[in-house]
Amino acid sequence: MAKTKVLLSGNEAIAQGAIQAGCTFYAGYPITPQNELIAYMAKYLPASGAVKGQAARVFIQAESELAAINMVYGASAAGARAMTSSSSPGISLKQEGISYLAGSQLPAVIVNIMRGGPGLGNIAPAQSDYFQATRGGGHGDYHVIVLAPASAQEAYDLTQSGFDLADKYRTPVMILGDGVLGQMMEPVKLSSRKIKTPPVKSWALCGCAGRKPNIAKSFFLREGALEEFNLKLQKNYQIIQQKEQRFEGLFLSDAKVILVAYGTMARIAKSAISQLRNAGKQVGLIRPISLWPFPERAFQIKNNRVKYLVLELSYGQMLQDVRLAVNGRQQVEFLGRSGGGILSQEQIIDKVKKIL
Amino acid sequence: MEKIFKRGESLYDVATHYCPGCGHGIAHRLVAEAVDSLGIREKTIGVAPVGCAVVAYDYWNFDCSEAAHGRALAVATGIKRVHPEKVVFTYQGDGDLAAIGTNETIHAANRGENLSVVFINNAVYGMTGGQLAPTTLLGQKTATSIEGRTKKAHGYPLKISEMLALLPGVCYIERVSLENPQEVLKAKRAIKQAFENQINNLGFSLVEVLSPCPTYWGLSPKESLDWIKLVMRKEFPLGRIK
């Protein structure tokens, strides 16, 4: 692409980020509000430049969300950088496959452009899949790395990081956005670097010429074997928690009230903060970028009189992680809407004024 | 003395976990022999099911993947699209392929994925304790059809091979049996054919193997082989379907 800055929706920015990251396999199923992503992949992925060491880039519209995630399982086991995307009800269906990916230590990027729930819910933006995303989501003792972009640019960048993290830690990575992020168009500065070459994967299934067979599996029947494996996963998770916490902090040195918000909600929070700052109110922001690992480090603020105000497009999900991170040292307040309602700047400002 | 018959390289020299008289051991061997006779061991990738054959990769000496219950053909699709030059096959039971995985089966076949499928039909869920399978015969007693399968309560035995034969993406379907050595040899030829079709890029091939399950049929191994011949084959006739 000749132009370095283009106008993309969040969905398209994620897709373009994946292409840049050397993703060679995408399988998906249509669902609103992430349809631009699958359409972009259909149009551009097979035609994008070759990735070194990999066969052609493949796009498949799967017959179901289950099939899509299991195709990703196969492609990942075969050594490809593989991705699927969906929205909330579709992600629920994919949880089986995500658990198997985690249990087989297979890297993959899974995109959830959240909509309202539970059930079929609606197609309005929401953040109500936070628990599902950050607690593993499927059965078993596992986590996936969860990255939450707040702009099309960040969606493009984090998708690329997502592939790197997935390969580095051999784990599924989720890009968690909401319907606003997915649909909103913004300028995105594209990377001028060459398309990434994924790392060589000695564990991949590619035929056993010159070596013992490789097996992709999550099944450990022998007594003690699963516990041993789960401890290995836990060790990996501890390293991820130490090394991969990401957040953006704003006005943290003098803030009396710190807003805590991610994704689109953080954009609205920033607008509220600039208005409050103009009125002389000492308000700051912690914007978690990695939701798992949760950036507990951001909450190591010594002033015990600081108050946190957690803002969500859900009813107190991230709130629990903030409380765990704060661990009773400071007051934690909450304001949230869900089911398609979006907190306004004014609602935030009113709440801040009450607790300041 | 010259050794004229031996275990092929694709089959490990280990005891299997299967019950006495089970057909899986034979079917595993037929797959291994097909792979060895085509000289493709180092480019073969198998996909094991969930069911009695869940650890098939403990017996085969080539790359293998697990698949969640019913998802083998989705997993195989992912592998084959990434490595079109490798030989990728699934090995699935009737519950896996024709109940929980029906959707994946039909759509992989309909896309004409260049894959080979070994479909073990023993008319029962073995691993979980002998419950009603999609292929359980009318009147057949199982743990979940205690008085025998009835059309009113359970519907009919599902002839998924005949259904798949309707799809233009499917190039080859044959039903074989493990009831006696003669039929085993035919089964071996059919499985080899399914691999050859893939090597020749002909599309989706499936071999349905009628396979004994003495444990959950409540029969001796010998009676089980007779039951395939006298009872099961009436519902599932042998031969080339497509």
pLDDT at B80 over 70: yes
- pLDDT at residue A55 in the model: 81
pLDDT at A1 over 80: no
- Once rounded to an integer, what is the mean pLDDT over residues A189-217? 94
* Owning domain of residue B194: 24-240
Shortest Cα–Cα distance, B96 to chain A (Å): 14
* Cis before A89? omega within 30: no
- Once rounded to an integer, what is the mean pLDDT over residues B190-213? 98
- pLDDT at residue A3 in the model: 63
Which pair of structure tokens corresponds to residue B64?
């293998």
Residues from chain B contacting residue A72 (CB–CB below 8 Å): 78
Burial B179-189 (b: 16+ CB within 10 A, else e): beeebbebbbe
Contact A144, A172 (CB under 8 A): yes
Chain A's closest residue to B101, CA to CA, is A67
Which pair of structure tokens corresponds to residue A300?
């190591």
Confidence bin at A233 (pLDDT 50/70/90):
very high
Considering its fold, how many domains does chain B have in total?
Answer: 1
Contact map slice: B 28-67 vs A, CB within 8 A:
41-45, 47, 54-55, 57, 60-67
CB-nearest partner of A213 from B61, B76, B79: B61
Residues from chain A contacting residue B60 (CB–CB below 8 Å): 213
pLDDT at B90 over 80: yes
CATH 3.40.190.10 fits A248-355, yes or no: no
- Once rounded to an integer, what is the mean pLDDT over residues A307-335? 98
Yes or no, beta carbons of A208 and B42 under 8 Å apart: yes
Contact A318, A178 (CB under 8 A): no
Among left, alpha and beta (phi > 0; psi -120 to 50; other), residue A215 is beta
Shortest Cα–Cα distance, B185 to chain A (Å): 27
- pLDDT tens digits along B136-191: 999 999 999 999 999 999 999 999 999 999 999 999 999 999 999 999 999 999 99
Shortest Cα–Cα distance, A82 to chain B (Å): 9
- pLDDT at residue A2 in the model: 52
- Once rounded to an integer, what is the mean pLDDT over residues B192-208? 98
Q: Give me the half-sphere count of Cα atoms (radius 13 Å) on the Cβ side of residue B33.
A: 18
- Rounded to an integer, what is the distance from CA A321 to the centroid of its chain? 16
**N-terminal to C-terminal alpha carbon distance within chain A:** 49
Residues from chain A contacting residue B57 (CB–CB below 8 Å): 213, 215, 217
pLDDT at A15 over 80: yes
- pLDDT tens digits along A238-297: 999 999 999 999 999 999 999 999 999 999 999 999 999 999 999 999 999 999 999 999
Shortest Cα–Cα distance, B108 to chain A (Å): 9
Query: CATH number for the domain including B201?
Result: 3.40.50.970
Q: What residue ranges do the domains of chain A occupy? A: 5-243, 248-355
Chain A's closest residue to B109, CA to CA, is A63
- pLDDT tens digits along A147-160: 999 999 999 999 99
- What are the angstrom distances between the C-alpha of B116 and each of A85, A112, A346, B2, B205? 28, 33, 61, 34, 5
**N-terminal to C-terminal alpha carbon distance within chain B:** 44
Q: What is the mean pLDDT of chain B?
A: 97
Confidence bin at A201 (pLDDT 50/70/90):
very high
Chain A's closest residue to B65, CA to CA, is A216
Residues from chain B contacting residue A210 (CB–CB below 8 Å): 42
- What are the angstrom distances between the C-alpha of A66 and each of A61, A142, B74, B100? 12, 19, 9, 11
- pLDDT at residue A52 in the model: 84
A247 CB-near residues (< 8 Å, 6+ apart): A286, A287, A288, A289, A290, A295, A297, A298
CATH 3.40.50.720 fits A5-243, yes or no: no
- pLDDT tens digits along A99-121: 999 999 999 999 999 999 999 99
- pLDDT at residue B5 in the model: 86
- Once rounded to an integer, what is the mean pLDDT over residues B218-233? 98
> What DSSP assignment string belongs to A49-85?
PP-TT----EEEE-SSHHHHHHHHHHHHHTT--EEEE
